[in-house]
Structure 1
Amino acid sequence: MLLTPRSRAHRPRTASSRRLKSALLASAVSVCLVAASAPAAPLGVGDRLFPYLGNPGYDVAAYDLSFTYSGSNSKPLQAVTTIDAWTTSTLEKINLDFAHGKVDSVEVDGRPATFESAGDDLVVTPEKPLTPGSRTRLTVRHTSDPVSSGDRDGGWVRTADGLAMANQADVAHLVFPCNDHPSDKAMFTIRVTAPDEYTAVANGLPTGAHRAGRTTTWTYRTAHPMATELAQVTIGRSTVLHRDGPHGLPVRDVVPTKDREVLEPWLKKTPDQIAWMESKVGPYPFETYGVLMADASTGFELETQTLSLFEKDLFTEPGYPRWYIESIMVHELSHQWFGDSVSPHTWSDLWLNEGHATWYESLYAEEKGGRTLEERMKAAYGASDGWRAAGGPPALPKAPEPGQKIGIFRPNVYDGAALVLYALRQEIGEKAFEQVERDWVRDHRDATATTADFRRLAEQVSGRDLGTFFQDWLYGEKTPPMPGHPDWRPTAQNEKKPKASQAPRTPK
């Protein structure tokens, strides 16, 4: 996710075949066993920032989501969510994250099950307890409401002509029942039925479109596991544009049909941007990529997997320099490697997502727009102490305050985290740093990874003990001295972001 500058008020929300097993999940399983026979209660995997997200006792293998859209973006969609999962402990009750829709029925392995709500959880009681190591299928028939409830924005974004989805960090469960934590990635199949005048697009590649009467059902399937926060479904009066990326990669963009021509100059830049990222970190990790330009007011851009969400106005409003817009496109593109393919194991690892995306955004701006990386990092260094005081150190962000829409997406995990990467490059040298980057996305592809994993890799590649370095830079209350720049000094105690995404306010 990248917050974008607007004069209006922001509404930022931010933003497997091979799994790392969570210590948090293991510890939470015991909680589940104790609570299994007790009254329904919300559970979680123990994430420090979102303690009630995710659920212990099972590992989701696949989601099958079906949505039926009536043509109104203010009416609930009819939906069916099917979850295939492996149990990891005995379960008398199964907790799913779901909090913004009406549940009509639940089945467990084809048999009716009772259910009730507890906090943000849907608690399901099967006919008999589930045993560890068994495959189970849960089918939930429910509604999915695009209208926000109270002061909490749901994952649906209402556009001028339909809907899009933005679930980061903690609102996928306002759209569909799920295990709403990035530590449990899964495969997705997504079906959308809509009136014929609408086009529906979702993550992954299309597997078919079936017309019946005056509606069409569109089906998409991912080829790689995905976190719930990265799911994307867009329904609108849209045009889907196709082009080839590097090595024949299918690139598909989704735009409002009426804006197709004005947006094409930006869309055609994507293949070269993918090639640029591949030159830095290696092959693109997914089956397709594209840009969704939504006619909506969000205040952010978001790296939904294989189809990044952008506000259309970013590309049509005057006043933003070309280098700036392109660098934002690269920010979200780079997340496909850092955040989507390699996902954070806990939300405290968010700096690995946003720090890397900011890093490659900055490198691109330097190479293509003449915006010096060192100048940006020096400015970030000056503000870093203020960011740490306000939002916590990069790898120990403060928890979001209730009702605070910006949540955990503060400058300390953007430029503050990119500053850590700059310091690491200064510390171990450019060649070793570039090797760390390539090895990171290769070794953890389609999985989750932690801050400790990143430290171990950096030590392995550099052949050095970096314990003190990472402790000071990632967890210290004060910003350490910058290697190679003894003259740099902290200068600001505020949360202003001295970055490309905040700087331009007038035409250049």
Structure 2
Amino acid sequence: MPHTPHSPASRPRARSHRRSTAVALLASAVSVCLVAASAPPVPLGVGDRLFPYLGNPGYDVAAYDLAFTYSGSNREPLKAVTTIDARTTADLDRINLDFAHGKVVSVEVDGEPAGFATAAEDLVVTPDVALHEGEQVRITVRHSSDPVSPEDRQGGWVRTADGLAMANQADVAHLVFPCNDHPSDKARFTIRVTAPDGLTAVAGGLPTGVERAGGSTTWTYRTAHPMATELAQVSIGRSTVLRRTGPHGLPVRDVVPTKHRAALEPWLKKTPDQITWMENKVGRYPFETYGLLMADATTGFQLETQTLSLFERELFTERAYPKWYLESIMAHELAHQWFGNSVSPGTWSDLWLNEGHATWYEALYAEETADQPLAARMKAAYGASDRWRAAGGPPAAPKPPAPGSKTGIFRANVYDGAALVLYALRQEIGRTAFDRLERAWVVRHRDGTATTADFVRLASEISGRDLGGFLRAWLYDQKTPPMPGHPDWRPTENGRAPAAAAGKARGE
């Protein structure tokens, strides 16, 4: 999304605007924003089927500027300033931001003090002058950012052995900073972190400056491409940043606990070749840098944070899993940079497009590099698919998460269950058309968002025939359709799921 700085004193009154996917999700909700200033604040959302109160209608974020000051203790709140540049897509008396689990000190709109109140997990901002549709607006919130997440929520700031890291998927970026916390509203990020000397701070994007003063250091990073809030990453700790070069001169940087540097290096050096492998499958790497953040923390998952994927350090140093398996998990998170990060889901029901593709390339990588047959994994998935659909819903219509477990949407039905859909599609249209589809998908929707309907349309276009009925059955039916080319495949009552299909406990 373009970021056009403006002077608060000369706020434009243009009526033209571009509506974001988030607004399209719930156009009727815009009218809710047009409330009188005297009415009580209420939480809003963009109408996501799985997370109805995530995101907010009425504006489109162009850029975030996040400034965090870390005291040196990962048990103390960070001081923070979040600046949001946006364009209104409706007349607004109030602006709802997603924000919870932090104390708000002050809010300004275009440099002027603004009123604010809390409504559920929304921060409701009332500017001194109502905003008109099509205006550029800058919102500045001074607040705390608390690394101690509530016990019933997973993610946000994650404590590591020597600092902090972020894990914001699916709905917890707003525990860290005020935002429009839905993947349909992507924006560019500038992230500044001030920490005591002796610590290292790294964030997604490329470094743009380091300043040292008074016993503290401030690092600044900036993304070159828009990013969903759930994909932001900040690491603070006693870390070493290792640098190498990927294909086409791509800067590759890894962030590791200094004392584990030697043990992790054999794994880290595999990344450039893995990037080349993925480029041979789907085309040029879509971002300005890549690398692995090896966090000294036990999270139970790995996470595809944009340009800097989060991994548990112990996964690689304790060696509880075979080498080929760990390498395939690295490929899984790398594949997400194309599928889920560059092309983000229009709604959380489109999660299968992220996880199904990442699982597909994870399995393909294991087949091509470690002699782990893809067909065998897909046959096992087929046997379990009916049970997965019963437990979690069809791949493109997952059941809502259980109360208190927002990560519950990350079930087997959107991992190997969704990869099984891609396998069926390849069986149906052939490898040549399927490979063309994959490349076209990440080019057509690069730096944007896309939905299941978009994928069905493109698959039909590339294959030269209407695949709506075929894919509808695979994506939405309660029972798994027959597998093309494998009439002998049958659902199993108690068969085991594929060994690598461990969902959130394994990698996102």
Q: Does 1:419 align with 2:389?
A: no
Query: Could you tell me how far 1:38 is from its partner in structure 2?
Result: 2.8
Q: Which amino acid aligns with 2:204?
A: N
1:316 aligns with 2:317: yes
Contact 1:82–1:139 (CA<8 Å) still a contact in 2? yes
- In the aligned structure 2, how far is the partner of 1:462 from the partner of 1:219? 45
d(CA) in 1 for partners of 2:31 and 2:441? 32
Q: Distance in 2 between matches of 1:86 and 1:130?
A: 10
Give the SS at the match of 1:243.
strand
Q: What letter matches 2:351 in structure 1?
A: L
Aligned equivalent of 1:113 = 114
The one-letter code sitting in structure 2 at the alignment partner of 1:68 is T
TM-superposed deviation, 1:37: 5.8
Q: Separation in 2 of the partners of 1:350 and 1:452?
A: 13
Match of 1:295 in 2: 296
Provide the aligned C-alpha RMSD in A: 1.5
**SS across alignment from 1:239:** strand
Q: Deviations over 1:392-414 (max 9, x none)?
A: 00000000010125420000000
Q: In the alignment, what sits opposite 2:80?
A: 79
**Distance in 2 separating the partners of 1:107 and 1:450:** 35
Matches within 5 A, 1:188-267: 188-267=189-268
Question: What amino acid is the match of 2:117?
Answer: E
CA contact (8 A) 2:154 2:407 kept: no
Which residue does 1:428 correspond to in 2?
429
Please give the residue correspondences for 1:37-186 in structure 2 after superposition, counting only pairs within 5 Å: 38-186=39-187
Contact 1:19 1:447 in 2 (8 A): no
Specify every segment of 5 or more residues in structure 1 that has no aligned partner in the other structure, as ranges.
Answer: 1-15, 504-508
Q: For 2:216 and 2:177, locate their aligned partners in 1 and report how far apart those are by CA, in whole Å.
A: 22
Distance 1:425 1:113 in 2: 54
| Partner Cα separation in structure 2 for residue 501 and residue 426 of structure 1 | 21
C-alpha contact (below 8 Å) 1:239/1:254 kept by paired residues: yes
Q: Match of 2:61, SS?
A: strand
SS of alignment partner, residue 34 of structure 2? helix
Q: Which has the higher contact order (CA 8 A, sep 6+)?
A: 1
- The answer on whether the counterparts of 1:183 and 1:448 sit within 8 Å (CA) in structure 2 is yes
TM-superposed CA distance for 1:29, in Å, is 1.4
Matched with 1:28 is 29
Task: Return the alpha-carbon distance in structure 2 between the equivalents of residues 244 and 206 of structure 1.
Answer: 16
Q: Which residue of 1 aligns with 2:499?
A: 499
Q: For residues 299 and 160 of structure 1, what CA distance do their matches in structure 2 show?
A: 15
Partner letter of residue 55 of structure 1? N
TM-superposition CA deviations, 1:386-435 (whole Å, max 9, x none)? 00000000000000010125420000000000000000000111100000
Q: Is the 8 A contact 2:171 2:406 kept in 1?
A: no
Q: Structure 1 19/425 Cα, relative in aligned 2: closer, same or farther at 3 Å?
A: farther
* SS in structure 1 of the partner of residue 101 of structure 2: coil
| Distance (Å, rounded) in 1 between the aligned partners of 2:297 and 2:179 | 26
* 1:11 counterpart residue number: none
**Kept after mapping to 2: 8 A contact 1:393/1:474:** yes
Q: Distance in 1 between matches of 2:36 and 2:413?
A: 37
TM-score (norm 1): 0.94
The offset of 1:471, in angstroms, is 1.1
Does the CA contact (< 8 Å) of 1:25 and 1:46 recur in 2?
A: yes
Question: Could you give the per-residue CA deviations for residues 147-206 of structure 1, whole angstroms, max 9, x where no partner exists?
Answer: 022422340000000000000000000000000000000000000000011000001000
Aligned 8 A contact 1:415 1:499 in 2: no
The residue that corresponds to 1:332 in the other structure is 333
Deviation at 1:27, TM superposition (A): 3.2
Q: With structure 2 as the length reference, what TM-score do the two structures score?
A: 0.94
| 2:98–2:121 CA contact under 8 A, matched in 1 | yes
Given that 2:415 and 2:501 are in contact with CA atoms closer than 8 Å, whether structure 1 keeps it comes out as: no
Are 2:303 and 2:309, in contact at CA under 8 Å, matched by a contact in 1? yes
Return closer, same or farther for 1:196/1:19 CA change in 2, 3 Å cut-off: farther
Corresponding residue number in structure 1 for 2:11: none
Distance 2:316 2:327 in 1: 10
**In the alignment, does 2:472 pair up with 1:481?**
no
Deviation, 1:298, is 0.2
Q: Measure, in 2, the Cα distance between the counterparts of 1:485 and 1:35.
A: 61
1:36: Cα distance to partner?
Answer: 6.7
| Structure 2 equivalent of residue 388 of structure 1 | 389
Query: Which residue number in structure 1 is paired with residue 13 of structure 2?
Result: none
Identical positions, percent: 78
Q: Is the 8 A contact 1:59 1:85 kept in 2?
A: yes
CA distance in structure 2 between the partners assigned to 1:410 and 1:394 by the alignment: 9
User: Residues of 2 paired with 1:455 and 1:382: CA distance?
Assistant: 25
Contact 1:385–1:493 (Cα < 8 Å) also in 2: no
Instruction: Single out whichever of 160-169 and 400-409 deviates more from structure 2.
Output: 400-409
What secondary structure sits across from 1:226 in the alignment? coil
Write out the 4+ residue segments of structure 1 that deviate beyond 3 Å after TM superposition.
Answer: 17-22, 34-37
Aligned counterparts of 1:382 and 1:52: Cα–Cα separation in 2: 36
Q: CA deviation at 1:301?
A: 0.3
Q: 1:406 to 1:134 in 2, by over 3 A?
A: closer
Match of 1:5 in 2: none
Q: Distance in 2 between matches of 1:415 and 1:35?
A: 49
Q: Find the residue that maps to 1:158 and give its secondary structure.
A: strand
**What SS does the aligned partner of 2:316 have?**
helix
Query: Aligned partners of 2:332, 2:280: CA distance in 1, in Å?
Result: 15
- The residue type equivalent to 1:498 in the other structure is P
SS in 1 for 2:408: coil
CA distance in 2: counterparts of 1:352 and 1:107, whole angstroms: 38
